[in-house]
Chain A
């Protein structure tokens, strides 16, 4: 169907905006296959363990995603690796479409880089993670943080603490479900200044930590 000139101008602007969003997604490191996770798909991924009204929640995520930015931590657990990744990327991409700049880092790869202590690359990665406005860390494995060398856990802790102090949003997916009671999996002086904050945070209050659980 032929469009009027007005409609073409509006469409041109939409295309320009869409390109900008996809460009930001590229720069954030969001894989292409994880970009088109819309609300219908997200509804099927999330379970109502923490939120009874999944439909309402998904609607809010897609129409007012900036509410996510007010949370310091968005913790995703449950289900399987793929589902958690999809949920995380869905949120990250939605934040990006609302004119935000974001970053994704894979936990394992980043940990390997951080092990090259004092290298330029590890310093750069740490800086970028501390400074990123919105960061998604995919699949944080707590047992890696408990294993030696302990300095790795301390580096991660410094990243999370910096982000917490500067009120930047961090999306984290956990391989193990988060307990709803104050049971600390990690709480020693190697790492854990930050994580108890997540674990101990009352899921009902959701002041600073926003929890999502995905279906198996």
Chain B
């Protein structure tokens, strides 16, 4: 097909021939504009936006170049890659290699005002939509005209096909709503919310302590998890993502620090409740993967195969540009709609803008793009961010004292490395810190964007670094007396505790009497939905004299 006659309209053809070179001239000289074009969804290729063959070829090369390197194509760059670059699985034909160089030189000589950019972009998209509609009508009109039965079905299919035209709503997020239009939607929403507690527009984390404060994360929302280096950010995000996937949401986890396979190994260990260190040590000895733990791990793999949690992991090296990352996300989305996108983490994404002396603005730009992407795609987007070095010491000290009622691990936007606008723009901000035990046993999560006293809370969670698990506390503050039967037991030494493996098939003799007589405590712990800072009265037997009867 001669691209220039996509639609039999001479005026349109002339307009395309005039406007496409001008548009390319603008975007190939400005990285911001190119990124905007890229994010907008202007496509290369034979089914793409461009009508002119030369314009299409040059744009396709620049597009692939940007995807690969995260930078704008230059004239010298074009010379270097034109022989090797693959477009749609094919190399550039010999006869086109020279013509594309000549075309580049021609369009770069064109002077176009920056003010024309939005208009040119719109026109290119409109012609693209028009062409698709023309193809649609060409294909369907005869069928509709000639149909003698099943016309309604035919028209319904046609309608769906028409509405699915690409670029018809390139940005399905932006809109203007009048009060009268909005009131109808608000009324439906109120009725919907009244009918059921389950809000399909929100995705819970399935960690009750967090969900109690945030009520899950709204689709389209952007959440930043801030913490110290090795402060549990990845573990928290991994746990949240995994729980969401187990409950049926499609989660994509972008890992810029760890390999994808390692993440999945950690998830299997988490699911199997097996210490990951056993895999690190290896072998089949008692400290490695002995028969018991091997069976547990294989059982976990088998069970997960049965459930098939909807969880993808994209593995990228540090410094990968956001465009590169989002391109892979789009590829996954095309096969299976995504609900949750987790990017671990902001600080190691390669910035695509350069503000000299202001790297915080570059970080903010990256975060803004990620936020906008998630909003348009209606994902729950979660990412991590580190704290400033100066703030780290203070946060560590607060975490040390966090167990006392008066001290909160209060992480504020000013503590963030990079721009505090990252949190400023985010919908939710979670500050997290581990306690001072070695190894840590608790994680404190603090809402950094508390809007009212009810959400200005510190959430205490259990943390187990060996399993990679973050979960609701099994013991509320004040129920620590449940550990008395171990701590005050003369016969149990710390060395012996270190050697114990609870999940061994052979129950450790030392602990055979521990916990047996506290069934009511076990029941209370299992039923515990509310995390309370007050001691649970019901965990203490009513008769004072019996309170320590089992211990001593």
Chain A residue at smallest Cβ distance from B498: A19
Q: Which of A10, A64, A98, A101 has the most CB of B within 10 A?
A: A10
B200 within 8 A of A: no
Show 10 A/B contacts (Cβ-Cβ < 8 Å), sorted by A.
A1-B512, A3-B515, A11-B515, A13-B475, A15-B502, A16-B441, A22-B497, A59-B544, A62-B484, A100-B404
Tell me the chain A residues, 60-105 only, with Cβ under 8 Å from chain B. 62-64, 66, 69, 97-101
Least distance between A118 CB and chain B CB atoms (Å): 26
Q: Could you say which of A6, A19, A36, A99 contacts B488, with CB atoms under 8 Å apart?
A: A36
- Which residues on the B side are within 8 Å of A39 (C-beta)? 548, 552
Q: Is the CB of A12 within 8 A of B503?
A: yes
* A12 and B535 contact, Cβ closer than 8 Å, known pairs A21-B487, A22-B487, A66-B404: no
Q: Once the chains are docked, how many angstroms separate the CA of A213 from the CA of B109?
A: 95
* A11 and B401 contact, Cβ closer than 8 Å, known pairs A18-B497, A63-B547: no
- Which residues on the A side are within 8 Å of B480 (C-beta)? 17, 97-99
Q: Is the CB of A20 within 8 A of B474?
A: no
A24 within 8 A of B: yes
Q: Could you say which of A22, A23, A36, A59 contacts B547, with CB atoms under 8 Å apart?
A: A59
- Which residues on the A side are within 8 Å of B500 (C-beta)? 15
- Which residues on the B side are within 8 Å of A66 (C-beta)? 404-405
A14 within 8 A of B: yes
- Which residues on the B side are within 8 Å of A98 (C-beta)? 403, 480
Q: Is the CB of B525 within 8 A of A10?
A: yes
Inter-chain pairs besides A9-B474, A62-B484, 14 sampled, C-beta below 8 Å: A1-B507, A1-B516, A2-B507, A3-B515, A11-B502, A11-B515, A13-B474, A16-B441, A18-B487, A19-B498, A24-B437, A38-B551, A63-B535, A99-B404
B352 within 8 A of A: no
Q: Which of B400, B494, B544 has the most CB of A within 10 A?
A: B494
Q: Is the CB of B515 within 8 A of A38?
A: no
Q: Is the CB of A97 within 8 A of B511?
A: no
* A14 and B515 contact, Cβ closer than 8 Å, known pairs A6-B526, A98-B403: yes
Q: Once the chains are docked, how many angstroms separate the CA of A182 from the CA of B525?
A: 50
Chain B residue at smallest Cβ distance from A12: B502
Q: Once the chains are docked, how many angstroms separate the CA of A124 from the CA of B388?
A: 27
Dominant secondary structure of chain A at its interface with chain B: helix
Q: Could you say which of A3, A10, A12, A64 contacts B507, with CB atoms under 8 Å apart?
A: A3
- Which residues on the A side are within 8 Å of B551 (C-beta)? 38
A7 within 8 A of B: yes
B308 within 8 A of A: no
Q: Is the CB of A99 within 8 A of B494?
A: no
The size bracket of the interface on A is: 35 or more
* A16 and B464 contact, Cβ closer than 8 Å, known pairs A38-B551, A62-B548, A133-B401: yes
A109 within 8 A of B: no
The size bracket of the interface on B is: 35 or more
Q: Which of A15, A40, A41 has the most CB of B within 10 A?
A: A15
Q: Which of A14, A41, A66 has the most CB of B within 10 A?
A: A14
Chain A residue at smallest Cβ distance from B402: A99
Chain A residue at smallest Cβ distance from B467: A12
Q: Which 7 A-B pairs have the closest CB atoms?
A: A99-B403, A20-B437, A18-B486, A12-B502, A22-B494, A13-B474, A20-B441
- Which residues on the B side are within 8 Å of A36 (C-beta)? 487-490
Chain A residues at the B interface, C-beta cutoff of 8 Å:
1-3, 6-24, 26, 32, 35-36, 38-41, 55, 59, 62-64, 66, 69, 97-101, 133
Q: Could you say which of B435, B464, B481, B503 contacts A8, with CB atoms under 8 Å apart?
A: B503
Q: Could you say which of A14, A26, A64, A101 contacts B483, with CB atoms under 8 Å apart?
A: A14
Least distance between A86 CB and chain B CB atoms (Å): 14
Q: Could you say which of B404, B441, B552 contacts A17, with CB atoms under 8 Å apart?
A: B441
Chain B residue at smallest Cβ distance from A16: B441
Chain B residues at the A interface, C-beta cutoff of 8 Å:
273, 400-401, 403-405, 435-438, 441-442, 462, 464, 474-475, 477, 480-484, 486-490, 492-494, 497-498, 500, 502-503, 507, 511-512, 514-516, 522, 525-526, 535, 540, 544, 547-548, 551-552
- Which residues on the B side are within 8 Å of A63 (C-beta)? 481, 535, 540, 547
Q: Once the chains are docked, how many angstroms separate the CA of A98 from the CA of B551?
A: 17
* A10 and B515 contact, Cβ closer than 8 Å, known pairs A62-B548, A66-B405: yes
Q: Which of A26, A98, A133 has the most CB of B within 10 A?
A: A98
- Which residues on the A side are within 8 Å of B507 (C-beta)? 1-3
- Which residues on the B side are within 8 Å of A32 (C-beta)? 493
Q: Once the chains are docked, how many angstroms separate the CA of A20 from the CA of B441?
A: 7
Q: Once the chains are docked, how many angstroms separate the CA of A209 from the CA of B102?
A: 90
Chain B residue at smallest Cβ distance from A13: B474
Q: Is the CB of B437 within 8 A of A23?
A: yes
Q: Once the chains are docked, how many angstroms separate the CA of A23 from the CA of B227?
A: 25
Q: Is the CB of B497 within 8 A of A26?
A: no
Least distance between A174 CB and chain B CB atoms (Å): 27
* A101 and B436 contact, Cβ closer than 8 Å, known pairs A9-B474, A18-B486, A40-B548: yes
Q: Once the chains are docked, how many angstroms separate the CA of A62 from the CA of B547?
A: 10
Q: Once the chains are docked, how many angstroms separate the CA of A19 from the CA of B440?
A: 11
Q: Once the chains are docked, how many angstroms separate the CA of A21 from the CA of B403?
A: 13
Q: Is the CB of B435 within 8 A of A99?
A: yes
Chain A residue at smallest Cβ distance from B514: A11
Q: Could you say which of A1, A10, A21, A99 contacts B474, with CB atoms under 8 Å apart?
A: A10
Q: Once the chains are docked, how many angstroms separate the CA of A40 from the CA of B464?
A: 33
Chain B residue at smallest Cβ distance from A2: B507
- Which residues on the B side are within 8 Å of A55 (C-beta)? 544
Least distance between B397 CB and chain A CB atoms (Å): 10
Q: Which of B480, B512, B544 has the most CB of A within 10 A?
A: B480
Q: Which of B486, B490, B516 has the most CB of A within 10 A?
A: B486
Q: Is the CB of B522 within 8 A of A7?
A: yes
Chain A residue at smallest Cβ distance from B481: A63
Q: Once the chains are docked, how many angstroms separate the CA of A39 from the CA of B484?
A: 11
Q: Which of B482, B488, B503, B522 has the most CB of A within 10 A?
A: B488
Q: Is the CB of A14 within 8 A of B514?
A: yes
Q: Is the CB of A38 within 8 A of B488?
A: yes
Q: Once the chains are docked, how many angstroms separate the CA of A9 from the CA of B462?
A: 12
* A26 and B494 contact, Cβ closer than 8 Å, known pairs A7-B522, A14-B483, A97-B480: yes
Q: Which of B403, B474, B487, B526 has the most CB of A within 10 A?
A: B487
Q: Which of A9, A18, A39, A101 has the most CB of B within 10 A?
A: A18
Chain A residue at smallest Cβ distance from B518: A10
Q: Is the CB of B273 within 8 A of A9?
A: yes
- Which residues on the A side are within 8 Å of B484 (C-beta)? 38, 62, 97
